Structure 1
Amino acid sequence: MPKQGATALVVPLPEADPLLAAVADRFPDAVRPLPAHLTLLYPFLPAGALDEQVFAALDEVFADQPPLRVEFAECRRASGFAALLPDPADGLSALVGELRRRWPDLLPYDGRFGAEVDLHVTVALNTAEATADAVTREIIPEFTPIRAHLREARLIAFHGQWQLRRRFEFTA
């Protein structure tokens, strides 16, 4: 569970919500209670540190971002974890690179998985190997490939539940 006041920059992926719902129907503990999304940077700055200067910097980062068309077909598996990777990932990787340049001390997932983490949509997390394997073999193939048109990033903050703080439309 995230800390109170934690924030994240995410890209919503409603096209993957049916996949997450199917996983949750069969394995409720495998899916987090969040809509499908790609995480650009988590944790971001603490909610108390968000001010107009930070919002202006984020506006700059996202100002020239065009909408992106991506597909999710490749599955990545690790211990108790299953995720889908975006293709192409370069536009999203460029966004992450710019965020990391502006806030170099912020490591994805506090550095638990290294300084660089592949962009992904989490499908199952912290679950038994048999569950992650079943998700990968039996459920994901029914829903992939997922084609998506990414149109915005969101800054969300955790206060007992995740709450929207700000939207950044991809309009360039």
Structure 2
Amino acid sequence: MPEEGVTALVVPVPEVDPLLAAVAARFPDAVRPLPAHVTLLYPFVPVDDQVVADLAEVFAGRPPLRVEFAECRRAGGFAALLPDPADGLSALIGELRRRWPDVLPYGGRFGTEVDAHVTVALNTAEQVAEAVEREIVPRFAPIRAELREVWLLVFRGGWQVHRRFELTG
């Protein structure tokens, strides 16, 4: 569980929520209690007015991103859907990393570069992640999505949306 006040930048992907619901119905402990999303940066910086203004500048004028989630990548007890194309999300992550170079994805736990993805199983047995990849994902994929906003989340006993930034182009 994150510490109070920890922040994250995520892109919600509601089109993937039915797949997460199917995973949770069969493997409740494999899914986090969050809507489907692509994490841009976590943990992020503490929220203040300047951070919000800087984020508004980063996201201003950016168009919605059209992606498809067809490929599932699995490693141990982790399974994730990869966006195609990924370049729009990678560009957003790159811009954020240039603005906040000391902020490493996942605190550097997985290195300095992490591919954009939607997690569909996490911290579970390898057999569960394999079943998710082999049995559940194919019933839903490919999933086409239009990514229209970025959420700045703050953990306050649970994740709460602090600010939404629209991608309207």
Q: Per the shorter chain, which TM-score range? A: over 0.9
Corresponding residue number in structure 2 for 1:150: 147
User: Following the alignment from structure 2 to structure 1, what is the Cα–Cα distance between the partners of residues 97 and 113?
Assistant: 10
The one-character-per-residue Cα deviations of 1:111-140 (angstroms, maximum 9, x if unpaired) are 000000000000000000110111010000
Instruction: Provide the TM-score with structure 1 as the length reference.
Output: 0.97
Counterpart secondary structure, 1:97: helix
Corresponding residue number in structure 2 for 1:14: 14
User: Following the alignment from structure 1 to structure 2, what is the Cα–Cα distance between the partners of residues 140 and 44?
Assistant: 30
Corresponding residue number in structure 2 for 1:108: 105
Matches within 5 A, 1:1-172: 1-46=1-46, 50-172=47-169
Give 1:4 shift. 1.1
State the Cα RMSD in Å.
Answer: 0.6
Counterpart secondary structure, 1:60: helix
Q: How many residues align?
A: 169
Instruction: Provide the TM-score with structure 2 as the length reference.
Output: 0.99
Give 1:79 shift. 1.1
Percent identity for Structure 1 against Structure 2: 77
Give 1:29 shift. 0.3
Runs of 4+ in structure 1 off by over 3 angstroms are none
Structure 2: segments with no counterpart, 5+ residues: none
Give 1:26 shift. 0.2
Structure 1: segments with no counterpart, 5+ residues: none
